[in-house]
Each structure stands twice: as structure tokens, then as C-alpha cells.
Chains A and B, each alone.
Chain A
Amino acid sequence: MPELLSAAGVGLRFGALTVLDGVDFAVGEGEAVGIVGPNGAGKTSLLNVLAGAYRPTVGAVRYGGGEVSRLDAAERCRLGLGRSHQVPRPFLGMSVIENLMTAATHGGGFSGAEAQVRSLDALALSGMTPLANRRAETLGLLDRKRLELARALATAPQVLLLDEIGGGLTDGEAAELVSIIREIRARGVAIVWIEHIVHMLLQVIDRLVCMDAGRVIANGEPRAVLADAGVIDAYMGVA
């Protein structure tokens, strides 16, 4: 599988605090990778470094064969890196469809009719068509999460970076999100997914990475990683 997005030797420090320490990470075209690890392991920081919200202190981020370390989040999105946020960040003053049109015109670079087609497609895929004209501030948690997904999708990403999109949902709601994410994946979009709800992850991913204290401590076939003694010790909390 050709490598699409990678971090090589990435370190991130805020003053004296080392958040990421020599992280190597890669996702191939169309591949789905899960990331697990205890709170504070550096998962979201890694995602932010990949998406361009943070600049790494050392190391490089490569995407589609070129180095993107110096590009900001907006430029990376325009190149095909879509993301969702752990706490959904909809554009509250806009309706659902306006949220999507914004993503399609800016991140997707589409104009006119094409932007509308992309927005309607993201709307339908996320099951939000009946909510299209609702102001985002009136949406509940599940719908805000669906909007995060739909909005990222409207930017026409090649890689989708998901940050704990399953948290705080009922089993039924989680299953609904999983089926949307599987559909996105079926279109050939690569996925990097941070999640604590492991059974959701296992329905989608090819490979699992476990992080602890700013480092990658395991990387491989999901069941093998979950059975790894180091992972059990660091993450599952049972020795």
C-alpha cells in the first residue's frame, strides 16, 4: 500500500512539557488506522500535527509525496486532509447546509453547482437531509458529530482524521456513526481514527497503533496489538 500521509521522528514540546517524542506514523492510500492510548498519551496532539493545527518542534510531516510540515491547517485541508474535532465545532450561526457549503467551497475548492452537489452528497451520506435548514446551534450531540463528519467529507478529503467521534453516544448512535464512516471508507478515503471505544474501531480499521507518554508503543494487526502485554499494561490497566 503506497504511503499517503506520514509523520517521521515527530516531536512536540510546549516549554518544558514533551507531548510527542520521536513519533513515526504512517497511513497508506485507502487504509484505516486506529489510535488508542491512555489520556495524555499524545493522540490528539499527533492528529493536530498531522492536520496542521500544530507545527512539530522536530520531525517532518509528509503527504502525497511532499513535505507539508510548514503548511497551515487550511492549506492542508485544501490538499485533501479532512478532520473532525473531539468536541464538535460546528459553525453555530449557520444552518447545516451552509456549514457544508462553506467546507465544499473552501476546503474542497468547488464552486457553484459542483459545491452544491458535494454538499448535498455529504448531507445525504450523513443522514442529515431533514436537518439541512436547521441552525447548527440547535443540534444535539449526535447531530453535531454527524455534521463534523459531513463537513469534513464536503472538503473531498483523501484522508479523514477523526478525533474520538464515538464518545458520549449510545450504542445505537455509535453504530450509526460506524456505518457512515464505513461508507466514507468504501469510497477510498483513508482514515486515521482516535477512539476509546475499541469495538467501534474494530468494525472499521485495518491496523491499530497504541500510544503512551508521547510515543508509539505498538503498531500492527488490531487484535495482536490489543493482546500485546505492553499495551495491556499501559492502556487496558490490567497487568
Chain B
Amino acid sequence: MNPSPLSIHRWTPLSVASVAAVVGAQLLLVAVPLVFGANVVERLTTLCIYGILALMWNSLAGYGGLISVGQQAFFGLGAYAAIRLADAGFPVYPALALGALLVAVAALPMAQAMLRLKGGEFAIGMWVVAEFVHLLVNLDPLIQGETGTSLIALNSFDAEARRSYTYWAALASMAALAWGMFFLLRGRLGTAAQAIRDNEEAAASVGVRVFAAKRTLFLLSAFGCALAGALWVATTISFQPKTYFSVQWSAYMIFMVLVGGIGTFEGPILGAVLFFAVETAFGATGVWYMIGLGATALLFAMLLPQGLWGAIEKRFGLRLLPVGYFLK
């Protein structure tokens, strides 16, 4: 049936080298708390959390074609679940992951309802969901409305140990989610998701189970955003609902993914690093920083809609972390 001497491949020497480099860099990052001071460790923890958020928003929008401005629902719920579990006497670091898992379970019925909405309806619907869960969390006597509470259990660790543990937890979470997504995208879900991203009806016409694929992405994104929220509360200790359920988190995610390159695997990571760098440099300038972010996102949307990595990939045919196929 196949007389051609050509065959289908996934890896190039460049992609093997870049995956090896990423693994190497991640291993080096493990040693950061042993070498650097408190400030660097804290900043890199933030970067890891941004990385998670960017990856998760991209998995939903870039691959599932589902634009959400309500991912802060899961971010806030992740933090809330960690606080609730720790309050119930659960060991605090495992509580971060278990809480995120519980949020993903809660996201299942949400997916059944929300994924029936299309386009703008879904985007705004998710925002409504976020406001709704925000109000529900406020009703919890432990949270005391907008007064909020703290992840008190963390005070049992001394400051330096806590900083290191939280950093390692964030690094491990980002690496696990990124590699998990990498392997998912190399499997059936990857071709399904990229097909849905490009044309939903055509995807269905070649046998892609559109709803099931979207649901998987929705749950993955809920889990990841919840984990990011739990890690955030581990860095700041205090939990005030309106900070966690703020739409600003979705705005950050959109920024990172748009600038980095929506629908590419590498783009959001690049976007997170850029966002982090901009925030580190200009974050203290207050309102002008926000205006600058907005203007940058706008310029990218108009002039470079594929984002930085999308443009690089198209221009040079580069694929560092290969989720596709080629013929040779």
C-alpha cells in the first residue's frame, strides 16, 4: 500500500537538542534556593505560577478555541480549597495539589453546562461563573466575606524553608503541567485539539470527538489554574476573595498567550517570561504599567496576531518541542 520510501517523523536533531536543553534548565532551576537569596527565589516562584497560567489559558483558547475570561474562578477556588483542606488538618503542601484536584472534579458539571455555549457567550459566561463562585466563597464563615483569611498552617515552617518548599512546589507543578501537556498534545488529544482550533466542523467531519476533547482541555485548564491559585496563596499566605477572583488574572493570561503566540506550545512560556520581565521592570509604576500592558496586547493583536513564537515558527519553520509530524 505504501511504496514510497518516505516516512513520517516527529523529531529533528534541533528538537531533540531543545528538549534536552529544557530538561537541563529545569534541573538547574531546582538548585536555585541553594544558591540565590530570598528575592530571586520569590520572583522565580512568581514566574513559575505565571508560566502555569499561560500554559493553561493556551490549552483552552489556543487548542480548544475556547476563549475564557473567567479562569480566575479556578484560580480562586484552588486557593480556597487549599485553605479549607489545611483548616481540616490536612498537611499543607499536599493540600495544594489535592485542592486543585477537587476543583477539577467540581469543574466537570461546569464543563457539561458551559461547553454548550459558543464564542463570546462562553467567554462572558465564564466570567459570570467566576463572579458566582466568588460570592459563594464569600458566604463561607471561615472566609468572612471580603475580610478573607490566611493559610495559617504555613506559619509552622520558618520563612526560608517555606520559601524554598513553595518554590520547588511551583517549579514541579509548572514542569509537570508542561510535560503533561506536551505528551497529551503528542497523542490523540493533540491532533483533536489542533483540528478543533483550526475548524470545529471540519474536525467533526474527520471523526474528532469535539465535545470530549474540549471537556478534557477544560478540566486540565481548571486543574492547572486551581494549582496556580493554591501556589499563589502559599506565597502570599493571605487570602482575600476579591484579589483571587479578580478578572485581572484572566487579563494576565490573555496577555501572556497573545504576546507569546496562541495555539503554539512554546509561545505561552515565552509570553510568561516576557510578562514577568515587564512586570519586574515596570510593575512599580502603577497605572502606567497597566496602560502599557494593555497597549502592548492591543499592538500584538493588530500587528502580530500569531504572537512572537507564532511568527518565528512560521518564518523559520522551527519546532523546538515537537507536537506535530513531518515527512522525510
**A and B: bona fide binding partners:** yes
Count, A-B residue pairs, CB within 8 A: 116
Q: Which residues of B contact A93 (CB under 8 A)?
A: 194, 197-198, 263
Could you mark each residue 12-39 of chain A with 1 if its beta carbon is under 8 Å from any beta carbon of chain B, else 0?
0000000000000000000000000000
B1, CB-defined interface residue at 8 Å: yes
Interface membership of B279, Cβ < 8 A: no
* A113-127 contact mask (Cβ, 8 Å, vs B): 1 or 0: 000110111011000
Shortest C-beta distance, A192 to chain B (Å), equals 14
Instruction: Using known A-B contacts A95-B324, A98-B194, A133-B326, determine if residue A108 contacts B4 with beta carbons closer than 8 Å.
Output: no
Which residues A132-160 have CB closer than 8 A to chain B?
132-133, 135, 151-152, 154-155
Taking a contact as CB atoms under 8 Å apart, the answer to whether B4 and A103 are in contact is: no
With both chains docked as a complex, state the minimum distance between the C-beta of A168 and any C-beta of chain B, in angstroms. 19
User: Most B CB atoms within 10 A — which of A83, A91, A151?
Assistant: A91
Taking a contact as CB atoms under 8 Å apart, the answer to whether B208 and A106 are in contact is yes
Query: Given A85-B205, A120-B6 in contact, is the A132-B194 Cβ separation under 8 Å?
Result: no
B-chain residues with CB within 8 Å of residue A129 when the two chains form the complex: 4, 6, 327
Q: Are B8 and A97 in contact (CB under 8 A)?
A: yes
A89 close to B327 (CB less than 8 A): no
Complex contact B199–A89 (CB within 8 A): yes
Any chain B CB within 8 A of the CB of A211? no
A89 near B201 (CB under 8 angstroms)?
A: yes
Q: Which residues of B contact A205 (CB under 8 A)?
A: none
Chain B binder among A70-78, A176-184, A196-204, A218-226 = A70-78
Q: Which residues of A contact B6 (CB under 8 A)?
A: 120, 129, 132
Q: How far is the CA of A123 from the CA of B326 in the complex (A)?
A: 12
Task: Check if A94 sits within 8 Å of B194, measured CB to CB.
Answer: yes
Is B202 part of the contact surface with A, judged by Cβ < 8 Å?
Answer: yes
Q: How far is the CB of B207 from chain A (nearest CB, A)?
A: 3
**Is A101 interfacial (CB-CB < 8 Å)?**
yes
Q: Which of B59-98 contact A (CB under 8 A)?
A: none
Q: Is the CB of B325 closer than 8 A to any CB of chain A?
A: yes
- Give chain A residues whose Cβ lies under 8 Å from the Cβ of B325: 95, 97-98, 101
B324 near A98 (CB under 8 angstroms)? yes
Interface string of B1-26 (1 = CB under 8 A from A): 11110111000000000000000000
The answer to whether A53 touches B194 (Cβ under 8 A) is no
Contact pattern, B 188-220, Cβ under 8 Å of A = 1, otherwise 0: 100110110111011111111110000000000
**How many angstroms from the CA of A123 to the CA of B327 in the assembled complex?**
11
Given contacts A95-B325, A117-B2, A132-B327, contact A106 B198 (CB under 8 A): no
Contact B191 A101 (CB under 8 A): yes
Chain B's closest residue to A118 (CB) is B1
Q: Is A102 an interface residue (CB 8 A)?
A: yes
B8 close to A72 (CB less than 8 A) = no
Known contacts: A98-B194, A106-B188, A120-B6. The answer to whether A83 contacts B327 by CB under 8 A is no
- Given the interface contacts A120-B2, A120-B4, does A94 sit within 8 Å of B324 by beta carbon? yes
Q: Does A107 contact B (CB under 8 A)?
A: yes
Q: Give every chain B residue within 8 A of A117 (Cβ-Cβ).
A: 1-2
Contact B4 A106 (CB under 8 A): no
* B192-A106 in contact (CB<8A): yes
A111: nearest chain-B partner, CB-CB = B188
Tell me, in angstroms, the Cα distance from A54 to B205 when the chains sit together.
Answer: 12
B194 to A, closest residue via Cβ? A94
Asked if A73 and B205 make an inter-chain contact with CB atoms under 8 angstroms apart, the answer reads yes
CB distance from A217 to the nearest CB of B (A): 28
- Residues in B with CB closer than 8 Å to A6 are none
B7 CB, nearest partner CB in chain A, Å = 7
Chain A residue nearest in CB terms to B7: A116
Nearest CB of chain A from residue B298's CB, rounded to whole Å: 23
Chain B residues whose CB sits within 8 angstroms of the CB of A121 once the complex forms: 1-2
Closest A residue to B192 using CB positions: A106
Cβ of A11 within 8 Å of any chain B Cβ, yes or no, is no
Select B204's contact among A74, A105, A123, A154, beta carbons within 8 Å: A74
Across the interface, B202 reaches (CB within 8 A) one of A89, A105, A124, A133, namely A89
13 contacts between A and B (CB under 8 A): A53-B205, A74-B210, A92-B199, A94-B194, A97-B325, A101-B191, A105-B188, A107-B206, A123-B327, A124-B3, A133-B327, A135-B314, A152-B206
Contacts A73-B204, A92-B198 known; list 10 others, CB within 8 Å. Answer: A73-B205, A85-B201, A85-B205, A90-B202, A93-B194, A98-B324, A98-B325, A106-B191, A123-B327, A154-B206
